[in-house]
Amino acid sequence: MKSNTHPQYAPVVFNDLASGEKVLTRSTVTSNKTIEWEDGNTYPVIDVEISAASHPFYTGKQRIMDSAGRVERFNARFKNFGKK
């Protein structure tokens, strides 16, 4: 890679605030907040509100929408719309 063109790529800890899970990975994002990791080194930490550890789609705890009930309510609400 060309020097002085790309951002610095370094180890970073992503902290999921919803589940408390922490993941050490490499990224170009930086932070002033740091955390001491299991290996004894200190890394910058990025707090994220949701990740695959807490997202309902990935955890299997998603709600199923009642689409039939919604359609029936819509039809009942507008059954006389446009009639004279």
Element (H, E) at 77: helix 67-77
Q: How far apart are CA 49 and CA 40, in angstroms?
A: 25
pLDDT above 70 for 1: no
**Cα(31)–Cα(38) distance, integer angstroms:** 19
* The predicted structure's pLDDT at residue 25: 93
pLDDT digits (tens, 9 = 90+) for 3-46: 788 888 999 999 988 888 899 999 999 899 999 999 999 999 99
What pTM did the predictor assign? Answer: 0.62
